[in-house]
A and B are shown apart, each in its own frame.
Chain A
């Protein structure tokens, strides 16, 4: 039986409320590409990615057309390159980033993730080489994304890695000073990184993953916001229920697209990531949802509670709609990619301290935040340490994607282009953390890591 209202409602969500599939990400194992000769390994990487993902964009386009639902990004994630390149006879891993970048151009994907090292307990030779190569690799390629996991709840926080990453972020910014430190928008420092995240810049294909897999990230902040408009003034029980119902629908659509993509590409389905991911477009904002709950601006007192409710209700609604939920699954709060967040920063209501509090209850961390170009590396490291502590203690993923924009001061705007949006430069704390960061070593895992 045709129900015209349901049909119109669905199309309204797609046409006016920015409902879309944010990303179909193909995870590809590169473990069989390892070898001694760096040039040969780079060649194998290129060949494998272009072969496995040759139809990803084409089939994504067909699915978009048939269901009438936009698939905004088609992407690829690969095995952490620190593992693939470890046996190679080279110190500089830029050659592997270049191979990934060429492959991304050839198959038509806009980002490829996996220039990654997992160093939460310490560095191997390959990890150190990879991390040292990050600034050049990101500056000299367009579509490669890098990530480094510096902490886990089980292992604690590797403070040597935290210190190093502050320096690497600075160096990456300086090498891309002409574009406002753009390389830093492609670099994430994680605590408790997940192996099946389909979202960039932090996607990589974990070692426990199969040979090849399809992971899908849904979206839909606009749909949640419009649904909440109908619950104005209602108690939070109604708010939570409204969000759950909306998240259920959005996720069902993600599951449908994931199954279809998996079938047509002949690649197993991995997970649907339930994250609410904003874009800079008007009406596609997580900040707008929080404000719809009754805050005059995101950043006002009450924001953390509102975000906690949102994050939880999205998971509860989505989990029944998909056979496998994974990735980061929650709400994203990237400042530069959310028009409402930008507005709140510019009006002075949303500060970095409030954002840090918000990261305790959402699915990521301090994301897409521009800070003054003269911010010391030790301060960046200390920001990472704080976020890692939140992740480790709360048993959740946290991340830092911060851009110390060279030559820019508080109040300037850094234009990162496209989906990455524009970042207002935010002030950091005036206090220093140099001696704290200089200590190095490891912050031990918390007591609740001992769960066996």
Chain B
């Protein structure tokens, strides 16, 4: 399943590294990354493939959530379909 991971938080060293490490440990493959800094806020979107991840989607989302609070950022993972539905005909 393809999903979008969005990370938003105050910019600091190592955000991409930490999120990528967590995804890698879960068997999630990163297909594309884009990022920007908007008014000091680090904003990143990753297109990922979760088909190699043995955990249920909800569990992966919970883990990202838990890690997000430790890191002081917000991390969401959502199926790619929702963005396609909203923005593509």
Contact = CB atoms under 8 A, between A and B. Distances in A.
A4 B36 contact: yes
Interface of A: 1-4, 6-8, 10-11, 62, 65-69, 249, 252-253, 255-256
B58 A62 contact: yes
A62 B43 CA distance: 26
5 contacts: A2-B34, A7-B6, A8-B6, A10-B86, A10-B87
Contacts of A255: 85
B76 interface: yes
Interface in B18-35: 32-35
B81 interface: yes
B79 interface: yes
Nearest to B56: A62
A283 to B, nearest CB: 19
B12 to A, nearest CB: 19
Nearest to B58: A65
B58 A256 contact: no
B34 A68 contact: no
B87 A66 contact: no
A256 B87 CA distance: 13
Contacts of B77: 68
A446 to B, nearest CB: 40
Specify which of A2, A62, A69 lies most central, judged by the most chain B CB atoms within 10 Å of its CB. A2
B61 interface: yes
Given A66-B78, A256-B82, A6 B87 contact: yes
B6 A11 contact: yes
A256 B58 CA distance: 19
B86 A68 contact: no
B58 A67 contact: no
Specify which of B32, B33, B76, B78 lies most central, judged by the most chain A CB atoms within 10 Å of its CB. B78
Contacts of A252: 85-86
Contact of A68 (B46, B76, B85): B76
A8 B83 CA distance: 10
Nearest to B46: A2
Given A2-B33, A68-B78, 8 more contacts: A2-B4, A7-B4, A11-B6, A62-B57, A253-B82, A253-B86, A255-B85, A256-B81
Nearest to B36: A4
Nearest to B86: A249
Contacts of A6: 83, 86-87
A11 to B, nearest CB: 6
A253 B81 CA distance: 9
Contacts of A66: 57-58, 78-79
B86 A4 contact: no
B88 to A, nearest CB: 9
B45 interface: yes
Contacts of A253: 82, 85-86
Report, nearest first, the 7 A-B pairs whose CB atoms are least far apart: A68-B78, A252-B85, A256-B85, A6-B87, A67-B82, A2-B34, A249-B86
A8 B43 contact: yes
A11 B85 CA distance: 13
B76 A11 contact: yes
B6 A67 contact: no
A10 B58 contact: no
A2 B79 contact: no
Interface string B28-55: 0000111110000001011100000000
A68 B36 CA distance: 22
A20 to B, nearest CB: 12
B61 A65 contact: yes
Nearest to B5: A7
A103 B36 CA distance: 50
Contacts of A62: 57-58
Nearest to A8: B43
Contact of A67 (B33, B78, B87): B78
Nearest to B32: A2
B13 to A, nearest CB: 21
Nearest to A321: B85
Given A11-B6, A68-B76, A4 B82 contact: no
A249 B77 CA distance: 20
Contacts of B79: 66-67
Contacts of B43: 4, 8
Given A62-B58, A68-B76, A249-B87, A10 B47 contact: no
Nearest to B82: A67
Specify which of B34, B77, B83, B86 lies most central, judged by the most chain A CB atoms within 10 Å of its CB. B86
Contacts of A249: 86-87
